[in-house]
Structure 1
Amino acid sequence: MLLKKFLKNRADDEKEEEVSLEELQERKIRLVRSIKRKAMIKRILVILVLFFGVAGGYKALFDTGEENSYTELKDQAFVSAYITDYYSYPRSDETKERLKNFTLSDDAYSYEYASDVESVDVRSVTIYNTEKLDSINQIYSYYIKCTYDVKVKDSETAVNTMFNKITVGKNGDKYKVIRPVTNIKNEAEAVKDKDVLDSYGYDPDKGSESVDEETKSDVKNTIELFLKTYNDDITQARLLFLEPDRLLPLDDNTSLELNGMSDVTKSEDTYYVNCTLKQTVSEMQMILKYHFEIDIEKNKVKVMEVY
């Protein structure tokens, strides 16, 4: 009896142990799945955070760009209005009040024209350079070109151009001219370095073979037909161009005409042509150097470059 009971209890224990292992395995599987889900959720959250962070950064960048453009427009408007008041003569009471309001010192705009000057009217004000003098206090110098009409007694109206520097302090949307307007020119300078200038040169491609007179005549006809079509109808001209979308329309007042060919060579599939074109713009004409490349098989223009 005791042996049967012992064997029965042992069998029951082994059964309970087997059940426990199965449950443990199931729990392990559930735990692994849970960990994977949490890891996936974590990755998704990280991606979302990064996405919104980057999107926010781009938005801030675009907003900054828009704000910068808006600020530049306001700066231009202020400088233009101030210089217009500064040069205008005779000055109205409103003009005098604006100058007083926007200038740190009354002496900065208290000048007089010659006694025979009857009127001064500003035509245009162009800001061509800007210099930041003080980032903390928001002080800027604007270099401007001002064109104005001067009427002198017993004389015809003359057109004058003046180059100035105006120094402005900014506080939010508020402005103050803090230095007298000075007659200083700070225009862009021309590039003079020979090595740099040489790098700007255009060296047209050239074929390895020369061509006979008959071929030159055919090439001449191809270019003349293309130019005539180009002058009259951009849609049809693009049919004669190997990459149609690259051919942009001429100005409505402009036409091109072949003036002469200086060099025609060829490779296996291309004619290379250096020539001059007469460009007519309304009543003005000029001779320009052009380089053409023509696809031999398709008889279409591949390249058209002015140089």
Structure 2
Amino acid sequence: MSALEKAESTVFVASGMYASVAMLSALVPAGGHVVTTTDCYRKTRIYMETELPKRGITMTVIRPADMDALQHALDNNNVSLFFTETPTNPFLRCIDVDLVSKMCHSKGALLCIDSTFASPINQKALTLGADLVIHSATKYIAGHNDVIGGCISGRDELVSKVRIYHHVVGGVLNPNAAYLILRGMKTLHLRVQCQNNTAMRMAQFLEEHPKIARVYYPGLPSHPEHHIAKSQMTGFGGVVSFEVAGDFDATRKFIDSVKIPYHAPSFGGCESIIDQPAIMSYWDSKEQREIYGIKDNLIRFSIGVEDFEDLKNDIVQALDKI
């Protein structure tokens, strides 16, 4: 993993979520300040909102493309860390890693990038200026939807601090999970290249379909950070998010009609996975959905390694049902 990310050191842990918790716990001091983005894995934000304040840590949440808000946060707080995904979950927003690393470092703040959606095949954030990179190894790294793990890569002095915390607290990756992740990494480049190609074709197809209201994919010129994605990614990833031209029930009918993708959370595996965030990751809070732009008709589609025509035909027959 260190070779893939061009990192000095890497520590593997029990889950991607624990990787985030261990990194924040080890590197953000009591009374520190963290900046993060509105679009992100929801449980990461919940942890930061509910647990960090217990240590006197405050937080600023900005929109992914709002560099003025980031500068304001850096100027007006003693920021310890800017922690963001790129691309983000579920709207696949992209952050200019080179730019934000310079902004953070000028104020003495660290930059940690959750690169799970990109994988190290498509993006190497450390070479762009990030201090640390986190992955949920559950996703592309292991790649088979059958194991949970996480990892943190970066400069040895920083990873060592996380490793010391980790050795005290636990969260150890079990040996069989380590074996499965190592097995999965042997085909990482093959899987990701296939998923990049199929997802790009799927995004283009969906954007032209009359029953699709909007498509979110960094490879499309319509994406707000397409220019950033082109400059720092070698591929655009295997997840396509889109909004069906219909209400909650129409979207549910569509998702119930597909035959190839599994209905499940997670992404990045060999099998395609599809989910409706309004009744999965955000099922319990309409208020949160409205705040973060999660509409009832939003779909997150993780492309597997199936044939593109098979997936397209399946999507077409499901859209024909609504």
The normalised TM-score by structure 2 is 0.19
Bigger radius of gyration among the two: 1
Decide which structure has greater strand share.
Answer: 1
